[in-house]
Amino acid sequence: MTEPFRLTASQAQSKFKDGSLTVEDYARSLLSRVEARDATVNAWAYLNSELVLQHARELDQVPPEKRGLLHGVAIGVKDVILTKDMPTQYNSSIYENDAPKIDAGSIAVLRKNGALMLGKTTTTEFAATSVGPSHKGPKTANPHDPTRTPGGSSSGSGAAVGDLQVPIGLGTQTVGSTIRPGSFNGIYAMKPTWNSISREGQKLYSLIFDTLGLYARSVDDLKLLLDAFQLVDDEAAEDFEIKGAKFALLTLPTPQWPAPGPGTAAALKKGADILRDQGAKVEEIVLGNEFRPMYKYHLQVLSGDGRIAFLPDYYGTKDKLHSLLIEHVENKEKYTRKEQLKAFDELAAMRPKLDALADKYAAIIAPSVIDEAPVGHGNTGDAAFCGPWTAMHMPVVNIPGFKGENGLPIGLSLVSSRYRDQHLLRVCREVGKVFETQGGWTRDV
């Protein structure tokens, strides 16, 4: 019999419905997995087993006719999102043991739908750094090779889902903080359309870019979350088939980005070959020169938003802030307001153009990461390939299935135009089936 912790959320729910598994027994199995693996992976910033079991027992008492869409689904919550019954510490000594008694908007929605919050997962400092902070570095390891990073800033959520410690994880993305850990940990990761899910009660780095991120080990589980958050496309749902579909292959977003490493380059080629073998048309495209300055503008906006986001902590506890955050507040790059406005406006002008491009295809296929997860925990990896879709506010899903030269997971990104999140999931469900079975990577944990 499959151990309950190995079940996806959708599989666990089917057992709750037929009475073959209780939420309490499911929670106990997940907690046993955490206990067995925590010393190696270190994915949790806070986890209270008694609280988890108490909530699980309460969910088991809910009559079937009153159970929510996410009844019993266990979720790991990135520790920059407020939870009324657990501390929110942002991996910052400033907020150590800080416990506001309020739920973020996203958490309130999930609880109302019957979800079980398992605990708070680790993050880099304020989800705003990609290297180990000088004060409290990210402690989390990649479950497939503990000598390597799981990515960041959503380190703990990505690693916990990848290690079967929880079926669903919440992250955030400002550049690549959800998609990159998705690739490194061999799981599905989704950054929905910007501002399609409430960010109330979520630590903001950039109002213009920050988006709640979603982790799962199946597309069905991602759809459960989108349905709970009531993400609805304008167009009616239609069945999707790979045969006859048209995809765009974007091997390099613009010349401003680094070249893919050997593992990612091989995954892009193999992914395209797999889809062609399934009867799809895959057309290689490049972005025009008008998109060339996108990453520069992204960083300019990020710097300006960071000046605002971290000013309160700068005034009160500057000595406890990462140097990067201090540089934002002090505008070390010396960006003028005119430069910031130009960055805002130029990015805004690019978005409908990329929407129009994406609408010509079932999806755009793009690299998720430079290559496999880097060795060491001092740097969470390069987010350059994730940045375009964050800057453009477009939904993107990392699909696992490929591997690099060291046998570690590498995913590919599928992208659609804004507010076509459900369409993108329908495409990813079919593409994911063939990537997972033919891509060459198999789970080792």
Quick one: which of 130, 84, 75, 131 has its CA closest to 104?
84
Is 177 in the active site?
Answer: yes
How many Cβ atoms sit within 10 Å of the Cβ of residue 207? 12
* Cα 375 to Cα 372: distance, rounded to the nearest angstrom: 9
Is 153 in the active site?
Answer: yes
CA distances from residue 400 to 43, 180, 217 in whole angstroms, order as listed = 20, 11, 9
Check 29, 106, 153, 183 and give the catalytic one. 153
**173 beta partners:** 211
Termini Cα distance of the chain: 17
Is 20 in the active site?
Answer: no
How many Cβ atoms sit within 10 Å of the Cβ of residue 371? 23
CA distances from residue 392 to 112, 191, 389, 417, 419 in whole angstroms, order as listed = 31, 12, 5, 9, 12
C-alpha dihedral (318, 321, 327, 330), degrees to nearest 10:
-20
**413 beta partners:** 366, 398
Q: Which amino acid belongs to residue 362?
A: A
CA distances from residue 27 to 35, 206, 288, 322, 372 in whole angstroms, order as listed = 12, 35, 50, 36, 32
Check 10, 15, 29, 78 and give the catalytic one. 78
- Asked if residue 397 lies in contact with residue 416, where contact means CB atoms within 8 angstroms, the answer is no
**Count, residues in the chain:** 445
- Helix, strand, or coil (residue 360): coil
Check 29, 106, 177, 218 and give the catalytic one. 177
Determine the longest span between alpha carbons in the chain, in angstroms: 63
Q: Which residues are catalytic?
A: 78, 153, 177
